[in-house]
Amino acid sequence: MTTEILIIGAGPAGTIAAAYLHKQGFKVTIIEKTKFPRFVIGESLLPLSMDHFKEVDLLECLEKQNFEVKSGARFIRGKEICLFDFSKKYTKGADWTWQVPRADFDKTLADEVEKRGVEIFYEHEVIEVSFNEDSSSVTKFRDKEGNIKEISARFIVDASGYGQVLPRLLDLEVPSTLPKHSSIFTHLKDVKRPNGKEGTLISFDIVKPDVWLWVIPFSNGNTSIGFAGPTEFINSYKGTNEEVLREMLKMSDYYYERFADVEFSFEPHKLLNYSTASKQLYGKGYVLTGNSAEFLDPVFSSGVAFATTSSLLAAKLIDRTLRDEKVDWEKEYTQHIKHGVDVFKSYINEWYNTNLQKLFFHQPENPDVKEKICSVLAGYVWDETNPFVKKHDRVVSSMVHMLNNE
Ligand code: FAD
């Protein structure tokens, strides 16, 4: 078999790259290990991704699904509430997005690119890749009966998420520089959901300085709940995953009543030490995008936005590379991507050392500070005109220092 662009994985990173490259006239093939629809975590999107879906004509198929609209986010700490409204953000760009069951969301995207002519092999797993002198490649993959097949390609996009296919095969995995954090989560039929905005607002309930509960209501009446925190803390609970999650729910004064006796849709999943990183993001004939390249932490819902940003950029650079244009992958890809990662990393660190929480809940609110942080929370971490992006490594701690000395 032969293709021009081989994409490993049909998650959002895979399908957005497929949509762009197919539109440029390339033959694109996706190899996907599972059968869709399949469950994956990562259900709260950021407005930034809307710009990307629009650019590759994928917004319309998503709009038809009537996913729950997300126009901001709420942070809760005991009786304190901090509400962000994306329409009041500093950077221009989309000011809303969706809360999505990923099984449906990812299938919608995959079906749409397949309809346009991208070939998708479901239930096929990439197991081996070798590169030729001219940077083309031969990839071995296995179908569910165990038959081994081969496909040659001019370029590979590794969008395999936690599969981290090329980092594993090419020995590119490195430990994340973030502390080891883990998560436990499920879906439930939200039978006690209050009417109106209170019922559908995405919320993060801080139950301990470094442990938080997410509540992501979907338009189908189900809600995703999950805790994230230090691995040691998550592992300190004993019992089945359901027993652990039910016990942890007792920490949430805000949500306990709503979820206590409600049946879970499936046995909760536990994901230990979820942060990922890789030594390099590209090489001759391949690029890593989305989670395969890096995953930080779910606290600001940046995963899918990072997946769409990195994959769309990678697709544009592949297009130019294969048309023999000069591309400086280090500068145009790695440095650009790393910049956004570094901004999010600063905010994640400031979250877990509680500086950011102090800023969020400080009264009275400072609308100027809030609209700039709101841009970061909407995913606009490449907007250097925003001082909260430009000085990401020190702005939060300086603000908190000032507040402490007020
Ligand atoms: P994926 O969506 O994981 O897709 C990768 C695909 O590759 C999969 O379908 C897989 O089956 C396939 N694959 C793997 N190995 C192979 C192989 N060998 N051969 C062929 N195919 C293969 N992000 C958000 O934006 N919002 C959130 O609210 C959010 N919450 C999160 C909560 C937790 C606890 C965690 C851990 C993460 C969360 N994320 C969130 C991150 C989000 O899950 C990921 O960033 C996002 O799914 C990455 O998309 P992707 O396309 O890179 O990978």
pLDDT at site 251: 98
3-state secondary structure of 375: helix
User: Quick check: CB of 161 below 6 Å from ligand 1?
Assistant: yes
φ, ψ for residue 164, nearest 5 deg = 40, 55
Please calculate the CA angle 88-94-96 and round it to the nearest 5 degrees: 70
How many residues can be counted in the chain? 406
B/e letters for 337-350, b = 16+ CB within 10 Å, e = fewer, are beebbebbbbbbbb
- Low-confidence residues of the chain, pLDDT below 70? none
CA of 149 to the centre of ligand 1 (A): 25
Place of tokens 């909260």: 388
Q: Whose CA is nearest to atom 45 of ligand 1?
A: 303
User: Quick check: CB of 83 below 6 Å from ligand 1?
Assistant: no
User: Quick check: CB of 312 below 6 Å from ligand 1?
Assistant: no
Q: Whose CA is nearest to atom 40 of ligand 1?
A: 42
Q: Which strands, in side-by-side order, build the sheet including 269-271?
A: 80-85, 72-77, 203-208, 211-217, 222-230, 181-189, 269-271
Give the ligand 1 atom nearest the CA of 127: 18
User: Quick check: CB of 9 below 6 Å from ligand 1?
Assistant: yes
Give the ligand 1 atom nearest the CA of 274: 36
User: Quick check: CB of 291 below 6 Å from ligand 1?
Assistant: yes
Orientation of helix 47-55 relative to helix 12-23, angle to 10°: 30
**Rounded CA gap, 23 and 9, in Å?**
19
pLDDT at site 340: 96
pLDDT at site 406: 75
Give the ligand 1 atom nearest the CA of 302: 25
User: Quick check: CB of 298 below 6 Å from ligand 1?
Assistant: yes
pLDDT at site 78: 95
Q: Whose CA is nearest to atom 15 of ligand 1?
A: 163
User: Quick check: CB of 281 below 6 Å from ligand 1?
Assistant: no
